[in-house]
Structure 1
């Protein structure tokens, strides 16, 4: 039987929606849209129709596009005393993280407009057919899996922050949030999806939903107006493209920062001859940690400077002078939840789709009678490095979301991406190194343990040899050892088309409930 494609994503039903579309004759872009609509139903903490994201597309005619439908700052700004904006702590068990929610945490959403633009330009099947699997999941319900139940616990304060949110996510027979094995039904969301299929994205940006959003924002403390929704535009950008050890890598360009930081770190590691080291050794982990440290300094000094234009910014960051300076600094060292999801699809014709989306953690606000929670992107410290509500009006927020395509030196093609907030760039970096430098099979590349360096803390995932960690932890006294794999370290979902026989392989990251499926 001819293989029709490969899918990797964060939930069996997300993958199942894409499979249905590929089996029906759709292409990779039909499939990734079906998967994304489904993810908004079955992965509600990680993505939503009230958020934003990116699609990196490679077509069978050899064209590459980056669709930017991320959130942006409102055109107007309220006085601070009128804002509905407050902190909550998300409890990850071993650590907590502060987020801000409320109406004033909502940025202008872009995902609905983005999905419909992609449909008009790249898809082959009717939008109603693409949305239908998501409608069925919402109307008939899906069983909560372990990861979804855990995410409900982590973000319980958000899911309980408004009566409308609690009504969706609680057990109908009690006041407790749904737990593993219980059924999440969302009839209002099913109806909203049906309406979108019939009326298109104008429903969200000019129609009844737009009017409801604007009314509630005006009355309850947010800045979003009719102009924000009417004037929102999806951007089609040129991907950031660079070479690394004879592989060609495409990723998210500025104004998003994640792709640029991945490119910077890879080019720095290339100069430092990382390919001569062995995975998991002290020397490799030390070098990796130091380059992550450099990338964080670069982000603060260059990438988050929104006065720098897009491609000049990238050229400056990847220029030989800056790379040499950071290479020298590293060599001078002596030895001694955001909620995010990703979908990767490749079809038999060679179309490649890498889509990463996010709702932040969610603001708590549900558009009445729709089941759609809007984002809290204005309340995320990660993407507001200069402080909350200080960005220029009507501007895209910078993002770590980094959908990526890789064309290997051996002729293999890879679509990949990750969730995980600030850990996205380091998770993606390590999987790329595993594939390109260490020649690992896809599943091994995804499953291998990771590290993450941020704000002076080195986090080390379980799975490394303890003997290799002794010197490393002495050099980085501010460190945290994790016993097992954890969703903290991202969730990289990879789809690959092999060069020799055009067969497909894939891997969903088990850290975030990921699975892969070969169709055909």
Structure 2
């Protein structure tokens, strides 16, 4: 098979808070490649590829290992979106997003007439039913070569033996220490006996998590959804004011979605559909930008135009996006004519007022069918390609480890609109489309994305950082497809982000002074920050695969 025909080729792009020593951030290979900020996860995926597994097998090994070494961001207690490009060209979107418990109600987080984000972000009410385990198991059963349990055992060994935490991991513990101390098992795991949090260089051993991984490996997903784990979670919830039951776990199911597709500068863009808002709004923003010759605009004007397109798309996100199994999400958001109308509102020399959402065509009749974060992708020499973004939401999720399990529970209930106008942990506001409801999946910004030319993948990108996932993905695509940058240069360019509300343009301090002065003159309220998010990706060109990892973080790429 020619390199052209297996250009879904070699790559693992991983986004996560780093754990372990930093290493090379770029790698090249013709047989297999893995790039990650967690060396132990990189090694797990590469080992699977070298030992006869395909990209789907390797992706599950990486995901499981991240749940051990990247606990602040992802794990078995969270959810994921997995985008698979098979060697035969078929693309599958596996929705492993968390689901709200059956007892969830519209106003469950409203107290004294106001939405209480403390309840949606921390503790027993904050968690949805995890979906990563179901997504992993389905992917391996349908498309892998290895046994599901075999792929979990290396992660179990790391959990049992322990690993030294780095300063990033230690900083994460410190940042939410007060909340973590509230829960017995979390405190026992992440703090010394004298009550001080684990520090850089301390070895983190997770015997309960190791035992859970081994039980899951031996008994399969039924152990998690219909067996001892579900029972333990339900008992803890009942004793601590939660509403999750064993029946909620038994009723969890993945959903197979139709990927969203668009075109941009002659390339095909394939991304994840609702309940991800990511794919829809990546394509919506690109559709607007296609009406401008970005390469010919000077940098300050280009930043302004892109920021305005972001703002308009996020206004639509706040109103229209939700779980398509429960609310109508308009396909017209992807319409190029609609995007052209929005683009005509953008002025090169002034900031527009986006006071409300747009009205895409056939908004109620043409709708999608029912249906802190880590991103990773893996590809193999046969042309199987996996892009997966997984999360437990904010740092250490709900902060809850159910005693005896070692598994951190997510706080994805905060990704619902707990009350119109009340911002979540990322400052996002939402409307009724994303209101809490039993069995619903909360809106997400996760945006695993593939770019194809002539039917073959040439680029895979993804990101971490809440709503900044969407805008990072757009900036990386613009960098490569408009500006002709190499992937590593695209990842290194200064980032900026606008999400409509709050009405401010967040921009990295490394942006040139001329850009910042121009934006301020136009009337953009600027919020200067050191770093925005974390991105990784892989590009294919002239028979060579290049994996580029996040330059703002210690990271690793490996290939053979």
For the criterion TM > 0.5, the same-fold answer is yes
1:66 and 2:93 aligned = yes
Counterpart CA distance in 1 for 2:75 and 2:282 is 26
Q: CA RMSD in A?
A: 2.7
Ranges of 4+ aligned residues in structure 1 off by more than 6 Å? none
Partner of 1:405: 450
Partner of 1:327: 343
Q: Secondary structure at the match of 1:117?
A: helix
1:458 and 2:516 aligned = no
Q: Secondary structure at the match of 1:421?
A: coil
* C-alpha contact (below 8 Å) 1:458/1:476 kept by paired residues: no
Q: Secondary structure at the match of 2:94?
A: strand
Partner of 1:364: 399
Residue from 259, 283, 286 that aligns with 1:263 = 283
Counterpart CA distance in 2 for 1:387 and 1:155 is 30
Q: From the superposition, tell whether residues 423 and 398 of structure 1 become closer, same or farther in structure 2 (CA, over 3 Å).
A: same
Partner of 1:93: none
Partner of 2:526: 479
Q: Secondary structure at the match of 1:472?
A: helix
Q: Which runs of 5+ in 2 are unaligned?
A: 1-27, 353-371, 416-423
1:28-65 deviation digits (Å, cap 9, x = unpaired): 11111000000000000100211101110001111100
Deviation at 1:187, TM superposition (A): 1.1
Deviation at 1:270, TM superposition (A): 0.5
Counterpart CA distance in 2 for 1:324 and 1:2 is 41
Bigger shift: residues 268-277 or 301-310: 301-310
Counterpart CA distance in 2 for 1:440 and 1:161 is 47
Deviation at 1:20, TM superposition (A): 1.3
Deviation at 1:333, TM superposition (A): 5.4
Select the structure that is richer in helix.
1
Deviation at 1:300, TM superposition (A): 2.1
Residue from 492, 497, 515 that aligns with 2:556 = 515
Bigger shift: residues 68-77 or 194-203: 68-77
Deviation at 1:299, TM superposition (A): 1.1
Bigger shift: residues 435-444 or 299-308: 299-308
Counterpart CA distance in 1 for 2:558 and 2:490 is 17
Q: From the superposition, tell whether residues 99 and 175 of structure 1 become closer, same or farther in structure 2 (CA, over 3 Å).
A: same
Q: TM-score scaled by structure 2?
A: 0.83
Partner of 1:111: 132
Partner of 2:465: 420
* C-alpha contact (below 8 Å) 1:10/1:342 kept by paired residues: no
1:277-331 deviation digits (Å, cap 9, x = unpaired): 35xx111111111111111111123224866435xx1x21122442132112113
Counterpart CA distance in 1 for 2:182 and 2:199 is 18
Q: Secondary structure at the match of 1:35?
A: helix
Deviation at 1:335, TM superposition (A): 7.7
Residue from 371, 377, 381 that aligns with 2:412 = 377
Residue from 478, 493, 497 that aligns with 2:536 = 493
Partner of 1:75: 102
* C-alpha contact (below 8 Å) 2:322/2:442 kept by paired residues: no
Aligned residues: 495
Residue from 386, 398, 402 that aligns with 1:353 = 386
Counterpart CA distance in 2 for 1:20 and 1:71 is 29
Counterpart CA distance in 2 for 1:405 and 1:261 is 15
Deviation at 1:418, TM superposition (A): 1.0
Partner of 1:95: none
Bigger shift: residues 148-157 or 266-275: 148-157
Q: Secondary structure at the match of 2:377?
A: strand
1:41-99 deviation digits (Å, cap 9, x = unpaired): 0000100211101110001111100000001111123795999x9755xxxxxxxxx97
Partner of 1:137: 158
* C-alpha contact (below 8 Å) 1:47/1:357 kept by paired residues: yes
Q: From the superposition, tell whether residues 158 and 408 of structure 1 become closer, same or farther in structure 2 (CA, over 3 Å).
A: farther
1:160 and 2:176 aligned = no
1:158-213 deviation digits (Å, cap 9, x = unpaired): 32231210111123x53221222221111111111011100000001100111111
1:4 and 2:39 aligned = no
* C-alpha contact (below 8 Å) 1:352/1:415 kept by paired residues: no
Q: Secondary structure at the match of 1:216?
A: helix
Q: Secondary structure at the match of 2:552?
A: helix
Partner of 2:311: 293
Bigger shift: residues 319-328 or 228-237: 319-328
Counterpart CA distance in 1 for 2:453 and 2:64 is 30
Deviation at 1:387, TM superposition (A): 8.2
Q: Secondary structure at the match of 1:407?
A: strand
Deviation at 1:154, TM superposition (A): 2.4
Counterpart CA distance in 1 for 2:196 and 2:449 is 39
Counterpart CA distance in 2 for 1:201 and 1:237 is 21
